[in-house]
Amino acid sequence: MTKKTFYFIILLIGIRNLTNAQELPLYITADQKRNNNFLLEITNYSYTSRGDDEICYTNLTMYSNPNRGFEYSSRSNEDSFSIKRFLIKNNIHNIYFKSISQDYRRCWRGFWWDWCCDGAIAEIEKTIPISKYCSTLSFKDYGENHHGDKEAESNIFFNYKVIPLHTLKTSDNNSAKHLPIEIEIPLIGKEGFASDLYEFRYKEPGKDWKTLKESQYSRHSRYDYPHTIYTSASKIFGAKAESMIGKTIDFQIVSRDKDNGNVCSTSNIISLTITKSAPFIGVIDIKNPLCYSNEPTATFTVKLGRKLLGDLQKYKTDKNNYLGETLKITIQRKDSSRAERPENLPEEESKTTEYFLQHDRIENVVLHTASVTTDYTIKLKGNLYYLNSEGKRASIPLYSDHYMHSYPFTITVPKPLTASTFPTDNKCFGDTKGKIEVRVLGGTPPYKYVKNDEPPVTVDGDSFFLTNLLTGTYTLTITDKNNCQILKNGKVSPVVVKIEGPAKPITIVNEGKVGFITHAKGYKRKDGMISAIITGGTPIDSYRYTTQLQASNGEFINSLHMGTGEKKGEFLALYYFLGADTYTLTIKDRNGCTLTKKITITEPDELIINSIEATPISCNPRNSDPNNNSSINSNGTLTVNAKGGVPTYRYVWKRFNKPYTETRNKTITDLVDGIYQVEVIDANENKAVGTYTLTYPDPLYLKVTKSEMTCSAPNGGQATAIASGGTPPYTYLWNTGHTDAHIVGLSAGKYFVTVSDSRGCSVQEKVVLSYPEEVEVVSTIITPVTCYEGNDGKIALTLSGGKGAVNVLWYDAEGTLITQGTTNGGKTISGLKAGKYKAVFRDQSDCPALEQFYEVLQPEKTVVNIPSQITICQGDSRSFDLSTAFPSATFRWTDSTGSLLSTEPTFTVSTKGNYKVEITDQKGCKEATTFEVSQSDKILEVDFLAATNSYYNYTVKLVSLSHSITTQWVLPQGVTLIKEENGAAEVRFPNKGTYTIGLKGFLDGCEKTVYKTLWVEKDRLGIGKENTSKEVLIDDFGIFSNPNNGTFRIKVNLKRASVIKVYCIDILGREAFPAIEQPEGTTFDIPIENRRISAGQYLVILEAGGDVMVQKMIVNH
Q: What is the DSSP letter of 399?
A: B
If you average pLDDT over residues 464-481, what whole number do you get? 92
Q: Has residue 18 got a pLDDT over 60?
A: no
pLDDT at 397: 96
Whether pLDDT at 59 is above 80:
no
pLDDT score at 326:
97
What CATH class is the domain 869-935?
mainly beta
Helix (H) or strand (E) holding 317: helix 312-317
Sign (positive or negative) of CA dihedral 354, 358, 361, 367 = negative
> pLDDT by residue (tens digit) across 297-334?
999 999 999 999 999 999 999 999 999 999 999 999 98
φ, ψ (nearest 5 deg) of residue 1025: -60, -40
Q: C-alpha dihedral over 650, 655, 660, 665, to 10 degrees?
A: -20
Question: How do residues 1064-1114 score in pLDDT, each as one tens digit?
Answer: 888 777 888 888 999 999 999 999 987 678 888 888 888 898 788 888 888
Better pLDDT: 194 or 19: 194
Convert the pLDDT of each residue in 184-206 to its tens digit.
Answer: 999 999 998 999 999 999 999 99
Give the alpha-carbon dihedral of 999, 1001, 1007, 1011, to 10 degrees. Answer: -20
Write down the architecture of domain 168-237+245-262 according to CATH. Answer: Sandwich (2.60)
Strand positions, DSSP E, 305-405: 324-333, 339-340, 361-368, 374-387, 393-397
Decide: helix, strand or coil at residue 199.
Answer: strand
Supply the DSSP symbol for 350.
H
Q: Please report which confidence band the pLDDT of residue 147 belongs to, taking 50, 70 and 90 as the band edges.
A: low
Rounded-to-integer distance, Cα 125 and Cα 63, Å = 12
Contact 107, 118 (CB under 8 A): yes
Of the options 2.60.40.1930, 3.40.50.1580, 2.40.110.10, 3.30.210.10, the CATH number for the domain spanning 1019-1117: 2.60.40.1930
The CATH code that applies to domain 418-499 is: 2.60.40
Q: What angle do CA 52, 53, 58 make, to 5 degrees?
A: 90
Task: Tell whether the model's pLDDT for residue 164 goes beyond 80.
Answer: yes
Question: Do 608-694 and 1019-1117 have matching folds?
Answer: yes
Nearby residues of 275 by Cβ (< 8 Å), 6 or more positions away: 178, 179, 180, 181, 245, 246, 384, 396, 397, 398, 399
pLDDT bucket at 1025, cuts 50 / 70 / 90: very low
Q: What is the residue extent of each domain of the chain?
A: 30-164, 168-237+245-262, 281-411, 418-499, 523-601, 608-694, 701-724+740-769, 776-841, 869-935, 1019-1117
pLDDT band at 231 (very low <50, low <70, confident <90, very high): very high
Report the pLDDT value the prediction gives residue 14, as an integer from 0 to 100. 31
- pLDDT value at position 27? 84
Q: Of residues 489 and 467, which shows the higher confidence score?
A: 467
* Per-residue pLDDT, 541: 84
Residues 896, 913 contacting (CB under 8 angstroms): yes
pLDDT-derived band at 473, boundaries 50, 70, 90 = very high
The mean pLDDT of 97-112, rounded to a whole number, is 76
Q: What is the mean pLDDT of residues 643-670?
A: 88
What is the CATH number assigned to the segment(s) 30-164?
A: 2.60.40
- Cβ neighbours of residue 490 closer than 8 Å, sequence gap 6 or more: 294
pLDDT of 21 > 90? The answer is: no
pLDDT in tens, 838-887: 999 887 766 677 889 999 999 888 888 888 898 998 888 888 888 888 88
Averaged pLDDT score across all residues of the chain: 87
The whole-angstrom separation of Cα 919 and Cα 885 is: 11
Options 1.10.8, 1.10.3470, 1.10.540, 2.60.40; which CATH number does 608-694 get?
Answer: 2.60.40
Q: Give the contacts of 1094 (CB within 8 A, at least 6 positions apart).
A: 1066, 1115, 1117
| pLDDT over 90 (residue 960) | no
pLDDT tens track for 374-400:
999 999 999 999 999 899 999 999 999
Q: Report pLDDT for 6.
A: 27
Instruction: Give yes or no for residue 951 having a pLDDT over 80.
Output: no
- The answer to whether the peptide bond before residue 720 is cis (omega within 30 degrees of 0) is no
For the cut 70, the answer to whether the pLDDT of residue 28 exceeds it is yes
Q: Which amino acid is at 460?
A: D
Identify which of 378, 392, 323 has the alpha carbon closest to the alpha carbon of residue 353: 323
- Residue pLDDT, tens place only, 438-464: 999 999 999 999 999 899 999 999 999
d(CA 63, CA 160): 13
pLDDT tier at 711, thresholds 50, 70, 90: low
CATH T-level assignment (fold) for domain 523-601: Immunoglobulin-like (2.60.40)
Closest CA to 839 of 824, 829, 831, 830: 829
Residue % of the chain over a pLDDT of 70: 95
767-776 b/e with 16+ CB inside 10 Å = b? bebeeeeebe
pLDDT of residue 3: 32
pTM for the full predicted model = 0.45
pLDDT for the residue 10? 30
Write down the pLDDT at residue 937: 87
The residue-averaged pLDDT of 803-822 equals 89
Dihedral, CA atoms, 548, 554, 555, 558, nearest 10 degrees? Answer: 0
User: How many separate helices (H) and strands (E) can be counted in the chain?
Assistant: 4, 85
What secondary structure, in 3-state letters, does 629-676 show? CHHHHCCEEEEEEEECCCCCCEEEEEECCCCCCCECCCEEEEECCEEE
Residue 418: what pLDDT? 93
